[in-house]
């Protein structure tokens, strides 16, 4: 990385909570993605405790080089790992060149992310399974309606979530090039990807074949992938309301998918559904609550 780029932003001007800066240079042979666009350099200044309203962006020139400068929160980077979005930001943070590092805090944080420890892995697994479950259901609906192009798209997305689950189970952090990551594993999901995209059978037959495999995956992986949610459901004698679960910090990243996950766990007899009379309410209206 060029000297002029190193000197764009020093430690003293980075602002409160800054722990370090990472620089990434565009591979001229590569594509322009959502963060680099046609900039030659991306610089990320990472902060602990940076509020969303304090995150900043700057476009500039250093000599003949155009750059994009981002101030990002370490919390947002970790959230990107748990949710599985912002894959470009995560890639640049993990693979960029460290420009400066205050007391080794940036390197320590990057090591923590790279280690992809069990708590983080468990939460990411739950999120990917929830996404898999959602698009699998959409694929089944589109197939039943003979809307095969939309069904094909959803099945392909389901396989990508399945592939990420396989990577997570191997202790590998999924990145943007998921098929390149999963190819060396000689996994079931890559064979299914080949069946979907290369098989000579009709489109509907290929979709049905992959849906059948997804149904088996759903049944075999649900208990393991939902271990975090099941543990929380069994953590007390009193059953949980949906709103209570949505407020649990460990489940914040899947609060939108909680209704779907809970209903599937009940359907598969992995969780119990009970009813509780409302304290105040007309008629026989009762609240549905859940426990393991």
Report the pLDDT value the prediction gives residue 68, as an integer from 0 to 100: 87
The residue among 67, 85, 115 that closes a domain is 115
Contact assessment for residue 161 and residue 210, using Cβ atoms and an 8 Å cutoff = no
Please tell me whether residues 108 and 24 are part of one structural domain. Answer: yes
10-residue stretch averages of pLDDT, the chain, 292 residues long:
54 75 73 63 88 80 83 90 83 88 93 89 95 96 96 96 94 87 89 89 94 92 96 95 94 94 95 81 76 92
Please tell me whether residues 99 and 165 are part of one structural domain. Answer: no
Report the pLDDT value the prediction gives residue 287, as an integer from 0 to 100: 85
Nearest to 81 by CA among 131, 126, 124, 132: 124
Please tell me whether residues 97 and 161 are part of one structural domain. Answer: no
Q: What six digits make up the tokens of 105?
A: 């805090």
The residue among 54, 87, 115 that closes a domain is 115
All residues at 6 or more sequence positions from 203 whose CB lies less than 8 Å from its CB, including other chains? 148, 152
Number of domains, the chain: 3
Write down the pTM of the prediction: 0.85
Report the pLDDT value the prediction gives residue 166, as an integer from 0 to 100: 93
Please tell me whether residues 94 and 129 are part of one structural domain. Answer: no
What CATH number did the domain enclosing 276 receive?
1.10.10
Residue 100: strand pairing partners: 21
* Parent domain of 153: 118-225
CB count, 10 Å around CB of 269?
A: 7
Report the pLDDT value the prediction gives residue 277, as an integer from 0 to 100: 74
What CATH number did the domain enclosing 207 receive?
1.20.120.330
Q: What six digits make up the tokens of 66?
A: 């155009």
Please tell me whether residues 16 and 111 are part of one structural domain. Answer: yes
Residue 60 lies in a domain: yes
What's the full length of the chain, in residues? 292
All residues at 6 or more sequence positions from 106 whose CB lies less than 8 Å from its CB, including other chains? 19, 20, 21, 22, 46, 98
Report the pLDDT value the prediction gives residue 279, as an integer from 0 to 100: 66
Contact assessment for residue 142 and residue 56, using Cβ atoms and an 8 Å cutoff = no
Q: Please, is 92 exposed, middle or buried when counting C-beta atoms within 10 Å of its C-beta (0-12, 13-18, 19+)?
A: buried
Nearest to 22 by CA among 69, 84, 61, 58: 69
Contact assessment for residue 151 and residue 177, using Cβ atoms and an 8 Å cutoff = no
Q: What six digits make up the tokens of 147?
A: 């809307």
What CATH number did the domain enclosing 33 receive?
3.30.460.10
**Integer angstrom CA distances of residue 120 from 9, 68, 82, 130, 131:** 32, 29, 7, 16, 17
């Amino acid at each position: 990385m060029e000297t002029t780029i190193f000197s764009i932003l020093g430690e003293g001007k980075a602002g409160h909570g800054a722990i370090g800066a990472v620089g990434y240079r565009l591979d001229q042979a590569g594509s322009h993605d959502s963060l680099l666009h046609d900039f030659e350099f991306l610089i990320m200044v990472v902060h602990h405790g940076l509020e969303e309203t304090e995150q900043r962006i700057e476009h500039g020139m250093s000599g003949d080089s155009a750059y994009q400068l981002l101030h990002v929160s370490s919390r947002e980077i970790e959230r990107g790992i748990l949710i599985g979005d912002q894959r470009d930001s995560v890639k640049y943070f993990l693979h960029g060149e460290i420009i400066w590092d205050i007391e080794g805090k940036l390197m320590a944080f990057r090591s923590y992310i790279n280690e992809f420890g069990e708590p983080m892995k468990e939460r990411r697994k739950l999120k990917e399974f929830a996404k898999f479950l959602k698009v699998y259901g959409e694929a089944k609906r589109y197939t039943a309606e003979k809307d095969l192009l939309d069904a094909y798209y959803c099945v392909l997305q389901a396989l990508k979530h399945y592939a990420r689950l396989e990577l997570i189970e191997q202790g590998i952090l999924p990145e943007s090039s998921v098929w390149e990551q999963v190819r060396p594993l000689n996994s079931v999901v890559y064979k299914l990807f080949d069946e979907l995209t290369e098989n000579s059978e009709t489109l509907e037959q290929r979709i049905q074949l992959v849906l059948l495999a997804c149904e088996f995956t759903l049944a075999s992986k649900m208990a393991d992938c939902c271990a975090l949610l099941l543990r929380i459901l069994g953590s007390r004698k009193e059953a949980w309301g949906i709103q209570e679960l949505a407020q649990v910090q460990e489940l914040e990243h899947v609060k939108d998918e909680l209704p779907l996950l809970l209903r599937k766990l009940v359907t598969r007899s992995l969780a119990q559904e009970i009813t509780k009379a409302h304290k105040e309410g007309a008629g026989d209206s009762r609240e549905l609550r859940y426990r393991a």
